[in-house]
Amino acid sequence: MPHITIRSKDKQLGDYQLQKGVSLTIGRREKNNIIIDDMAVSGHHAKIDSVGDGFVVIDLQSKNGSFVNEQLINSHWLKHGDTINVGEHLIIFEYSESEELPNDERKNLEGTMILDTNQYRSKIRKSNPTRSINNVAGFWDMHHSRKQDKEKKPELPMGPTNIKKELHGTLQYLAGGKGEINLTQKFTTIGKHPASDIVIKGLFMGQTSVTISKRPDGFHLCYVGGITKPKVNKQTIRKSTILSDADVIAIGSVKMKFLNGTPSIPADCPSQ
């Protein structure tokens, strides 16, 4: 399993071993797994989730943001050697020398989503402008796009064009809760861990039981861990499945209906 090293001003403050199926929360409050005493760090700043055979860092809507390799992120699949900036602290993600690195193909599908805010334009400028960004929704080379915009004026289409519509997904509680949850994030976690996007309690519920990832072809539900397994339309889910409109999802005592999904062929879910 990989480990993370916490540094501040060239001093090593701690080293933590990550575990499969376990989430790790980072923040200033005492309830976090990693407590960082830094006023620039939010109470619940970020978390590192174990998903399949990989790990993803997710910003918990912190005030000052989370950075991976000097790029402001919302969520990011971690690779060996990635550096996470939280406040004035540096977190280094590494595998041991003897450990076999996981396949990077999934990380190419779901990488970093860049957030452009006025407060962090200076840090974003440090990143390589020619690097493809927002891999969560598909490759998009911002530098190349801007260059084309300057050199070439937009032309009117000669005929009908295919315009990709933005995906909108909603989970509507049928049992175990009230109201609706809009799936606006690229990556939604469900489990009994307090930092999960949707918290479901239960003795046999995994810390991160299920993830729902928003991809160009639709919303993909993946089982991650725990004895309690999710069901879609009463069918137990062990691999990735793409959600269709009106699908009924049951996880422990909670039942929800998925609305406005776009059916397609599901991608492989990370192996357990």
What CATH number corresponds to the domain at position 217?
A: 2.60.200.20
On whether both 100 and 184 belong to a single domain, the answer is: no
Q: Which of 108, 124, 140 is the last residue of a domain?
A: 124
On whether both 108 and 10 belong to a single domain, the answer is: yes
Task: Round to whole Å and give the CA distance between 215 and 265.
Answer: 12
On whether both 110 and 176 belong to a single domain, the answer is: no
On whether both 117 and 180 belong to a single domain, the answer is: no
How open is the CA angle 41-57-74, to the nearest 5 degrees?
A: 75
Q: Which of 95, 124, 153 is the last residue of a domain?
A: 124
Question: How many residues can be counted in the chain?
Answer: 272
Q: Is residue 34 part of a domain?
A: yes
Q: What is the 3-state secondary structure (H, E, C) of 25-57?
A: EEECCCCCCEECCCCCCCCCCEEEEEECCEEEE
On whether both 116 and 10 belong to a single domain, the answer is: yes
As beta bridge partners, residue 256 has: 173, 249
On whether both 193 and 102 belong to a single domain, the answer is: no
On whether both 111 and 211 belong to a single domain, the answer is: no
Q: Is residue 153 part of a domain?
A: no
Q: Is residue 17 part of a domain?
A: yes
Q: Cβ-count burial of 190 within 10 angstroms (0-12 exposed, 13-18 middle, 19+ buried)?
A: buried
As beta bridge partners, residue 259 has: 170
pLDDT tens digits, the chain, 272 residues: what are they?
899 999 988 788 888 989 888 889 999 998 899 999 888 899 999 999 888 788 999 988 888 889 999 888 888 889 999 999 998 899 999 987 766 566 553 444 344 444 444 444 444 444 443 333 333 333 333 444 444 444 444 444 444 444 456 778 899 999 998 899 998 888 888 988 887 889 999 888 888 888 888 888 888 898 888 889 999 999 998 888 889 999 999 999 999 999 975 444 455 554 44
Q: Is residue 233 part of a domain?
A: yes
Element holding 143 (H helix, E strand): helix 142-151
Q: Is residue 136 part of a domain?
A: no
Task: Round to whole Å and give the CA distance between 255 and 38.
Answer: 40
Task: Round to whole Å and give the CA distance between 228 and 200.
Answer: 11
Six-digit token string for 12: 């090593």
Q: Which of 124, 147, 179 is the last residue of a domain?
A: 124
Task: Round to whole Å and give the CA distance between 109 and 13.
Answer: 33
The SS3 assignment for 119 reads helix
On whether both 119 and 202 belong to a single domain, the answer is: no
Task: Round to whole Å and give the CA distance between 35 and 38.
Answer: 9
Q: Is residue 152 part of a domain?
A: no
Instruction: Say what the pLDDT of residue 101 is.
Output: 61
Q: Is residue 144 part of a domain?
A: no
Domain that holds residue 70: 2-124
The SS3 assignment for 158 reads coil
Tally of domains within the chain: 2
Q: Is residue 139 part of a domain?
A: no
Instruction: Say what the pLDDT of residue 208 is.
Output: 84
On whether both 44 and 100 belong to a single domain, the answer is: yes
| Inter-residue contact 192 to 206 (CB < 8 Å) | yes
Backbone angles phi, psi at 107, to 5 degrees: -65, -25
On whether both 108 and 208 belong to a single domain, the answer is: no
- Other CB atoms within a 10 A radius of the CB of residue 148 amount to 11
On whether both 183 and 115 belong to a single domain, the answer is: no
Task: Round to whole Å and give the CA distance between 113 and 168.
Answer: 17
On whether both 23 and 104 belong to a single domain, the answer is: yes
